[in-house]
Homo-oligomer: A and B are copies of this chain.
Amino acid sequence: MDPPVAAGKATRLMTLADNETRDRFRHFLTIPTRWMDNDVYGHVNNVTYYSYFDTVINQYLVSEGGLDINQGEVIGIAAESLCRFQRAFTFPEVVQAGLRVSHIGNSSVRYEIGLFHEGEHDAAAAGYFVHVFVDRSSRTPVAIPAAIRAALTPLSIAD
């Protein structure tokens, strides 16, 4: 629904390193694991990592960018996401979710996220998440609201 986002995949992937480290992220949120995050293999289920992703992103947008998830005319919806799983999280534990922005377009943003164990420099998991901002009713892409763009800019890393 936002062709420029889909273009240039190879280029964009280059900003996600095989070994992500804590210093490459610009904002952090602490997310404690929950009992039910664990699956039958005794570690946090792969699906739940994506919940950490959209929690750090949306919490930032709400608190720093003024996103109004209940009433706002513009909302961000997921276009694409990816995660690489390297070392497991478990319950109980505190996940430190790092966030940066690798691309800001007219209506879309590509975030990159690293999930860290406490006290570790290397990410246990890392990935990206692309938001397209749309009109709440029509779900057609719109320009990123100015307040959100202003909040995202300090999270940018050089492409």
Number of interface residues of A (CB under 8 A): 48
Smallest Cβ distance from A148 to chain B, in angstroms?
15
For A53, give the chain B residue with the smallest CB separation. B47
CA A78 – CA B35 in complex, angstroms? 13
CA A80 – CA B81 in complex, angstroms? 11
Q: Which of B63, B77, B86 contacts A92 (CB 8 A)?
A: B63
Say if the beta carbon of A51 comes within 8 Å of chain B.
Answer: yes
B77 touches A55 (CB 8 A): no
Interface bits A28-39 vs B (CB < 8 Å: 1, else 0) = 001110111011
CA A6 – CA B42 in complex, angstroms? 24
B84 touches A79 (CB 8 A): yes
Question: What residues of B have a CB within 8 angstroms of the CB of A70 in the complex?
Answer: 40, 42
Say if the beta carbon of A82 comes within 8 Å of chain B.
Answer: yes
Question: What residues of B have a CB within 8 angstroms of the CB of A1 in the complex?
Answer: 86
CA A6 – CA B10 in complex, angstroms? 15
Question: What residues of B have a CB within 8 angstroms of the CB of A18 in the complex?
Answer: 6
Q: Give residues in A with beta carbon < 8 Å to B.
A: 1, 6, 9-10, 13, 18, 30-32, 34-36, 38-42, 45-48, 50-52, 54-55, 57-59, 62-63, 69-70, 75, 77-86, 88, 91-92, 136
Q: Which of B31, B35, B52 contacts A55 (CB 8 A)?
A: B35
CA A86 – CA B79 in complex, angstroms? 7
Question: What residues of B have a CB within 8 angstroms of the CB of A48 in the complex?
Answer: 36, 47
CA A33 – CA B6 in complex, angstroms? 27
